[in-house]
Amino acid sequence: MSRFDFTVQVLVIGAGACGAVAALAAADAGAGVLVVERDDRAGGSTGMSQGLVCAAGTRSQAAHGIADDADTFFADIMAKARSETDPVIARALADNSAPALEWLIDRHGLPWELDTRFRASYGNSRQRLHGWPGHGGLDMVQLLHARLSDAGIDLLMKTTLVDIFADEENRIVGVALKRADGAIEHVGCETLILAAGGFGANRAMTARYMPETRLLRYNGHEGSHGEAIILGEKLGAAIADMGAYQGYAMLTDPQGISVPPPVLLEGGLIVNRTGARFTDETLDIAGMVHPLASQPDGIGWVIYDARIEAHCAAIPELATLMELNAAKTAATAEDLARLIGADPAQLSETIAEAQSAALEDAPDAVGRHWTTAASPHAPFRALRVVGALYHTQGGLQVDGQARVLRQDGTPFANLFAGGGTARSVSGPSSWGYLPAMGLTTAITLGWLAGRGAAALVND
Ligand SMILES: Cc1cc2nc3c(=O)[nH]c(=O)nc-3n(C[C@H](O)[C@H](O)[C@H](O)COP(=O)(O)OP(=O)(O)OC[C@H]3O[C@@H](n4cnc5c(N)ncnc54)[C@H](O)[C@@H]3O)c2cc1C
């Protein structure tokens, strides 16, 4: 008698972007698929995200006159990570981001297009962030779940992966799953795809691998416990870049909503409690969290104006902040300083200095070049922000086909990983994250994993 209650061809753990895309790709290729998800609804880190994804060389870019290709994207990834990342994974992401995205658009009707509000910035040398205009990550993941349902793919919710079993040849044969009532079920599988997100919610792991984040709030998914990474490592998988993560310096306090990056890119500033700037706001979207965390009380204020607000008003996060009337507004820099508890003389000087640097087209006191954006002008708006850890970027080492690698560098025969569970391409720490690489890793590796798993069972 089999040790398993039943067996499936492709078993996917986690139903965020990576798991959903992997399941759709495997089913499209003719495999029988079961998806297992701990939560009782679609969400994950994907549901909390801004829903933006990088892809290079898409039709939508071409329609907007943006010349981009896989080689340029690859060069950007390597440059941002200072070459301290795996070129094989970088190449796989650069080569497959556009085909994966366009397959989702063409085959599954996902309404993604180039986000023209997001300038080429923070290491992306081309405009290549794609999204669903006016919608964020929750809409993305709900739409993906609707497509799972349309495709007739089975989804086991409120069910948690607790163990993975391999045979004597290190081939995955099945898993143990914990159901909502506590019962343990043993399910056999021909191939296994680990898409269970990262480990940002696992304080023991973040303390071990990224101790400097203890000063940061955690603003990622509470289900990112890293079990899939831990279980993979137990099987002999290699792990890498465990100190890599995306921090974010613009989590509004107390609303807990991200200020979208275009607010800075269009000319917004960040000042500290006294009203002084402390970083070039256009340099490093993720690494900026540390200069902020070291400011007095670890708080900052994002200063912007009506023009910037109008440019960004349709971005869901800013739209919500506007509905909540979250920004302090004032007619002059001095009045704004009084409202936010900053030094009026300091804030006036800060804003005046940025305005004159923008006019002169010269780098300002913090080294920002004002070549493509105007600085804020009265009347002003200000949002209070703190620094946070959003998601981890290290995990199971995979190859260019999303196959999990053992510690000796050879691939497991039938184990795949993607998204937050896999090593991404952000280097070893907080400074190597390119905007939107989280979902790029989830979708692209998910697509590769789903196709690779289906090819194995179809063999
Ligand atoms: C606030 C915020 C904004 C962001 N914005 C962006 C953005 O605009 N663009 C971008 O590229 N990235 C963004 N990111 C990062 C991005 O959200 C993640 O990189 C991406 O969603 C990871 O996808 P995933 O499928 O790997 O993980 P998830 O979406 O987290 O999915 C993993 C799923 O696995 C389930 N799970 C976990 N453990 C188990 C288990 N043991 N058994 C069963 N199920 C399990 C979880 O419940 C979860 O649903 C953002 C992150 C945050 C927090």
Q: For the sheet with 113-114, list strands across it.
A: 53-54, 129-131, 113-114
Task: Kindly report, residue by residue over 186-202, the tens digit of the pLDDT.
Answer: 999 999 999 999 999 99
Is the CB of 161 inside a 6 Å radius of any atom of ligand 1?
Answer: yes
| E strand segments, 116-244 | 129-131, 154-156, 160-166, 172-178, 184-194, 217-218, 239-240
Is CATH 3.50.50.60 correct for 6-244+393-458? Answer: yes
In short, whether 227's Cβ falls inside 6 Å of ligand 1 is yes
Token pair 């039938």 is found at 414
pLDDT band of residue 3 (cuts 50, 70, 90) is: confident
Q: What is the residue-averaged pLDDT of the chain? A: 96
CB of 196 closer than 6 angstroms to any ligand 1 atom: yes
C-alpha–C-alpha distance, residues 454 and 395, integer Å: 23
The whole-model pTM stands at 0.97
Distance 306 CA to ligand 1 centre (A): 33
> In 338-392, at which residue ranges do the beta strands (DSSP E only) sit?
380-392
Query: Can you give the pLDDT at residue 378?
Result: 96
Domain boundaries, the chain: 6-244+393-458, 247-389
Task: Report CA(247)–ligand 1 centroid distance (Å).
Answer: 14
CA 197 – ligand 1 centroid, Å: 5
Beta carbon of 391 within 6 Å of any ligand 1 atom: yes
Confidence of residue 86 (pLDDT cuts 50, 70, 90): very high
Topology of 247-389 in CATH?
Answer: Flavocytochrome C3; Chain A, domain 1 (3.90.700)
Q: Give nearest CA residue, ligand 1 atom 19.
A: 438
Q: Is the pLDDT of residue 235 over 90?
A: yes
pLDDT tens per residue, range 216-227: 999 999 999 999
- Across the range 34-51, mean pLDDT stands at 97
CA of 146 to the centre of ligand 1 (A): 18
Residue 35 beta carbon below 6 angstroms from any ligand 1 atom: no
Q: Is the CB of 206 under 6 A from ligand 1?
A: no
Is 372's pLDDT higher than 90? Answer: no
List the end-to-end C-alpha distance of the chain, in Å, as a whole number. Answer: 26
Residue 216, number of CB atoms within 10 A of its CB: 25
Pick the range with the lowest mean pLDDT from 117-121, 298-302, 446-450. Answer: 117-121
Is residue 390 in contact with ligand 1, taking CB distance under 6 Å? yes
CB-CB neighbours of 361 under 10 Å: 9
For ligand 1, whether the C-beta of 202 sits within 6 Å is no
User: Tens digit of pLDDT for each residue in 251-262?
Assistant: 999 999 999 999
Amino acid identity of residue 279, one-letter, is T
Q: Give the DSSP letter of residue 410.
A: P
- Percent of the chain at pLDDT above 90? 96
Whose alpha carbon is nearest atom 2 of ligand 1?
Answer: 49
| Ligand 1 proximity of 19 Cβ (cutoff 6 Å) | yes
Q: Closest ligand 1 atom to the C-alpha of 224? A: 37
Mutation choice for ligand 1 from 36, 46, 54, CB with most ligand atoms inside 8 A: 46
pLDDT category of residue 1 using cuts at 50, 70 and 90: low
* 142-152 tens-digit pLDDT: 999 999 999 99
Region 316-322: mean pLDDT is 96
Angle between helices 333-340 and 344-360 (to 10 degrees): 130
Ligand 1 centre to CA of 192 (Å) is 18
Mutate to test the pocket of ligand 1, among 37, 48, 49, 177 (most ligand atoms within 8 A of CB): 49
Residue 361 is predicted with a pLDDT of 73
Instruction: Please tell me the residue having the least CA distance from ligand 1 atom 31.
Output: 16
Q: Classify 375 as helix, strand or coil.
A: coil
Asked if residue 278 has pLDDT above 70, the reply is: yes
CA-nearest residue for atom 16, ligand 1, is: 438
Atom of ligand 1 nearest to the CA of 54: 11
Over the stretch 103-146, which tens digit does the pLDDT of each residue have?
999 999 999 999 999 999 999 999 999 999 999 999 999 999 99
Query: Is 252 a pocket residue for ligand 1 (Cβ < 6 Å)?
Result: no
Mean pLDDT of the region 66-85? 98
175 CB within 6 A, ligand 1: no
Instruction: Tell whether ligand 1 has an atom less than 6 A from the beta carbon of residue 49.
Output: yes
Residue 390 has what pLDDT? 98
Q: Is 193 near ligand 1, meaning CB less than 6 Å away?
A: no
CA of 348 to the centre of ligand 1 (A): 41
DSSP-assigned letters across all residues of 8-52:
EEEEEE--SHHHHHHHHHHHHTT--EEEE-SSSSS-HHHHHS---
Give 179's pLDDT tier (boundaries 50, 70, 90): very high
Instruction: Tell me the average pLDDT across 391-420.
Output: 98
What is the pLDDT at residue 362?
A: 79
